[in-house]
């Protein structure tokens, strides 16, 4: 057996990770934060064992990104937070996040996407050099992530063929109402679809919050496109 090590795995499940990154996004959107400030936004008094573990987990799921001492909410996290539970776009983004941790991919491959007992997975991790408490935590995070995906539908949306995307209208001035009291607007661009899904009725506060988010989104899009 290999020597004991500090295994590379997220110490919290994806559901908690999404809840954590949501609290940061509601306050700072995608602004760059020092790791100390990010820990504060997550509810910790500073960088310590617990806050570092959560920050590391958010990075492993791809919900935080950054370099050195700065981090920010990732585009993947925004794709999750922008859509309501059950939306195909949200499910696809969640599936991508769940597939980011290398250990989870390895467990999916070895145990047919988790079709094994916790004790069997735990024993295998121990033989791979995980100390028992770490193996227990890894199994818990893995199971919680699987359960979260199942609750959200665990399905990715169908991919449209290029000719279908090209045929989409450039704008949707009168977005149709959909089931569940939501309104959906689809804009066909050369690179693909831009989809906006929102409740039919929004409060004044929510409208202002949405405007702030769209302003940040467009500012980033213009910067990446090389526009002033």
Question: 225 is written with which tokens?
Answer: 């496109």
Averaging pLDDT over each range in 66-75, 77-86, 178-187, which range is the top one?
Answer: 77-86
> Is the whole model's pTM more than 0.85, yes or no?
no
48 exposed, middle or buried (CB, 10 Å; 0-12, 13-18, 19+)?
A: exposed
Could you report the per-residue pLDDT of 72-107, keeping only the tens digit for each? 999 999 999 999 998 999 999 999 999 999 999 999
Q: In 3D, which of 58, 68, 64, 76 has the Cα closest to residue 31?
A: 64
Question: 95 is written with which tokens?
Answer: 């599936």
Could you report the per-residue pLDDT of 22-35, keeping only the tens digit for each? 999 999 999 999 99
The DSSP result for 141-193, as a single string, is: HHHHHHHHHHHHT--PPPPPPHHHHHHS-S--SSPPEETTTEEEEEEEETTEE
Whether 14 contacts 97, CB under 8 Å: yes
User: How far is it, in rounded angstroms, from Cα 26 to Cα 33?
Assistant: 14
The pLDDT of residue 95: 94
Average pLDDT of the residues in 177-199: 63
Could you report the per-residue pLDDT of 8-22, keeping only the tens digit for each? 899 999 999 999 999
């Amino acid at each position: 057996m290999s020597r004991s090590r500090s295994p590379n795995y997220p110490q919290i499940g994806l559901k908690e990770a999404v809840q954590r990154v949501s609290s940061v996004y509601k306050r700072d959107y995608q602004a760059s934060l020092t790791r100390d400030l990010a820990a504060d936004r997550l509810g910790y008094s500073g960088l310590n064992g617990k806050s570092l573990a959560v920050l590391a987990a958010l990075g492993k799921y791809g919900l935080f990104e950054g370099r050195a001492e700065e981090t920010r909410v990732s585009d993947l996290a925004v794709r999750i937070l922008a859509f309501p539970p059950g939306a195909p776009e949200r499910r696809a983004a969640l599936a991508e996040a769940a597939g980011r941790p290398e250990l989870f991919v390895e467990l999916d491959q070895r145990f047919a996407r988790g079709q094994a007992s916790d004790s069997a997975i735990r024993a295998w991790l121990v033989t791979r050099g995980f100390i028992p408490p770490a193996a227990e935590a890894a199994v818990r995070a893995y199971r919680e992530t699987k359960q979260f995906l199942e609750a959200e539908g665990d399905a990715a949306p169908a991919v449209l063929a290029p000719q279908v995307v090209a045929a989409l209208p450039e704008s949707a001035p009168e977005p149709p109402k959909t089931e569940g009291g939501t309104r959906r607007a689809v804009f066909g661009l050369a690179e693909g679809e831009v989809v906006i899904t929102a409740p039919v009725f929004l409060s004044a506060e929510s409208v202002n919050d949405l405007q702030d988010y769209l302003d940040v989104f467009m500012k980033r899009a213009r910067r990446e496109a090389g526009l002033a």
